[in-house]
């Protein structure tokens, strides 16, 4: 009897939640290579720039007003752009919408695409309540990227009808737990509390898209923060959240395993960390379209003007069709959310306007009869060679037929901002400045950038967030 019990105990497989808890508890700032820390700082800069560009959007205004209905002076978190402090979960929701709404924040592509910088709002909100240092914030961000991106590598939940943000409560709960200083069992409970009630259906990104497209992860992050807050205060969570009979594997994702995570093997190889494999956007549009936009801009001078275009053919990969080129609404978007998720729309606008900017998605531009007419010339083709290049790259081939019979062709796989075609620090600033200068003067923006580039030296994250107050 004793021998059998010993054998069974030895053979017992470590639960995924326990492994994730061990990883989160043991990851240290010192374990993270300097290049990864720099990437995390670049992502904070990029996210806050996106926030300034979205600050007066309808969803941001709604969530900000809701957040202001709850006030707290003790351990509160700031709603970015204001001096108002609310609970960290409500601040996460309001600030997360700011980061995500323009579809301009970073991206990761794998079996499941994601926007891992969506985690940053939660880390900043909880970090502010704890007066966390820059190093603590950066460590939590790298951790969140590691968890969410590894899950995206492991399984596609889109194929099962779930939205990618369903992984968010897990990554956020672990990152926030890191700031709280959780021990192993607290992490496990937080994962159970995060993973049981928070599953988002894919309808968010099907057909005509609504405001919720830019809010879905903000809500997932809010739920992850709330789960961690509950665990911090002693709430226990459902056991075996992943492997259980009615757990995540059985009901949502199907079974998966995660390969070793950054520093988990005891090495400090920079390429072992997932943040190094994520991409910063050059254009405010869904990531799969970035190479199509670039190709259109490169071909544009040779068209002699968009009026000379007879037909735009785009050879692309399956994921692009499924996400941004597979519904009738992609040829006649009626909302900003649908337009920035439409490859026919952004490609046509690039040919017509010579750029993709925030103004590309105004109601007037979306309803321009000439642009609508050009969009109808777009034909989408699934192509085996494009599929073969994804997700290592996002290959799109444009074949443009002009009215005089001439044909133009351009293929781009690694647009600017891709991990294999990085934006440099100057280009990051060049993206940040015009977004931030919609709200602040140039001198204030320079002050913000100075603090953000030195984020690993920050003693209290509150001091950085205060520079984004416009009230």
* Residues sharing a CB contact under 8 Å with residue 129, sequence separation 6 or more, in sequence order: 75, 76, 77, 88
* Nearest by Cα to 346 from 365, 328, 318: 365
55-69 pLDDT, tens digit per residue, is 999 999 999 999 999
**What's phi and psi for 107, nearest 5 deg?**
-145, 150
Plot region of 12 (φ>0 → left; ψ -120 to 50 → alpha; else → beta): beta
Quick check: 412 and 346 in contact, CB under 8 A?
Answer: no
Of 1-5, 205-209, 315-319, 391-395, the least confident: 1-5
Tell me: pLDDT of 10 over 60: no
* Residues sharing a CB contact under 8 Å with residue 394, sequence separation 6 or more, in sequence order: 109, 287, 288, 290, 291, 317, 320, 413, 414, 415, 418
**What's phi and psi for 372, nearest 5 deg?**
-60, -40
Tell me: pLDDT of 387 over 90: yes
SS3 (DSSP) at 410: strand
Report residue 379's pLDDT band, with 50, 70 and 90 as the boundaries: very high
Tell me: pLDDT of 9 over 80: no
What domains lie within the chain, and their CATH numbers? Answer: 16-277 (1.10.4100.10), 287-412 (3.30.1330.120)
Query: H/E element holding 382?
Result: strand 378-382
Tell me: pLDDT of 7 over 70: no
Average pLDDT, the chain: 95
| Cα–Cα dist 168/199, whole Å | 10
Quick check: 243 and 249 in contact, CB under 8 A?
Answer: yes
pLDDT of residue 73: 75
Q: How far is C-alpha 363 from the geometric centre of its chain's CA atoms?
A: 25
pLDDT of residue 11: 55
Report residue 74's pLDDT band, with 50, 70 and 90 as the boundaries: confident
pLDDT of residue 268: 78
> Across residues 272-299, what is the average pLDDT?
97
Report residue 234's pLDDT band, with 50, 70 and 90 as the boundaries: very high
Tell me: pLDDT of 8 over 70: no
The count of other CB atoms within 10 Å of the CB of residue 457 is 10
The reported pTM is: 0.94
Tell me: pLDDT of 75 over 90: no
Quick check: 364 and 309 in contact, CB under 8 A?
Answer: no
> Across residues 304-326, what is the average pLDDT?
96
| Cα–Cα dist 387/398, whole Å | 15
């Amino acid at each position: 009897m004793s021998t059998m019990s010993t054998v069974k105990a030895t053979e017992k497989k470590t639960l995924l939640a326990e492994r994730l808890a061990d990883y989160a508890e043991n990851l240290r700032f010192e374990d993270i290579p300097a290049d990864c820390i720099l990437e995390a700082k670049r992502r904070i800069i990029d996210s806050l720039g996106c926030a300034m560009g979205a600050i007066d959007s309808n969803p941001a205004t709604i969530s900000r007003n809701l957040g202001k209905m709850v006030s707290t002076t003790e351990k509160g978190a700031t709603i970015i752009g204001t001096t108002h402090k609310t609970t960290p979960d409500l601040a996460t929701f309001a600030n997360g919408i700011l980061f995500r709404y323009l579809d301009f924040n970073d991206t990761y592509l794998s079996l499941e695409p994601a926007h891992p910088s969506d985690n940053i709002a939660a880390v900043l909100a909880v970090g502010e309540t704890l007066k966390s240092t820059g190093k603590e914030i950066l460590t939590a961000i790298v951790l969140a990227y590691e968890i969410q991106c590894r899950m995206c590598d492991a399984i596609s939940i889109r194929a099962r009808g779930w939205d990618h943000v369903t992984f968010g409560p897990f990554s956020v709960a672990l990152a926030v737990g890191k700031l709280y200083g959780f021990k192993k069992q607290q992490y496990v409970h937080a994962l159970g509390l995060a993973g049981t009630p928070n599953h988002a259906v894919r309808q968010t990104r099907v057909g005509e898209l609504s405001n919720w497209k830019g809010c879905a992860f903000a809500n997932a992050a809010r739920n992850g923060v709330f789960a961690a807050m509950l665990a911090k205060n002693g709430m226990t969570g459902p056991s075996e959240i992943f492997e259980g009979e009615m757990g995540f594997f059985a009901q949502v994702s199907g079974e998966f395993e995660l390969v070793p995570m950054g520093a988990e093997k005891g090495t400090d190889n920079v390429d072992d960390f997932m943040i190094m494999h994520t991409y910063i956007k050059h254009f405010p549009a869904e990531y799969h379209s970035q190479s199509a936009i670039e190709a259109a801009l490169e071909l544009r001078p040779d068209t002699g003007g968009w009026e000379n275009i007879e037909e735009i053919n785009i050879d692309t990969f399956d994921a692009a069709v499924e996400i941004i080129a597979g519904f009738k609404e992609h040829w006649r978007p009626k909302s900003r959310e649908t337009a920035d998720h439409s490859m026919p729309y952004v490609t046509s606008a690039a040919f017509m306007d010579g750029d993709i900017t925030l103004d590309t998605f105004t109601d007037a531009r979306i309803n321009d009869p000439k642009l609508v007419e050009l969009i109808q010339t777009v034909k989408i083709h699934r192509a085996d060679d494009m599929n073969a290049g994804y997700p290592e790259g996002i290959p799109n081939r444009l074949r443009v037929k002009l009215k005089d019979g001439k044909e133009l062709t351009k293929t781009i796989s690694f647009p600017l901002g891709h991990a294999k075609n990085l934006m440099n620090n100057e280009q990051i600033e060049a993206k940040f400045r015009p977004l931030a200068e919609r709200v602040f003067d140039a001198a204030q923006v320079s002050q913000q950038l100075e603090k953000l580039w030195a984020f690993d030296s920050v003693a209290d994250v509150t001091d950085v967030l205060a520079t984004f107050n416009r009230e």
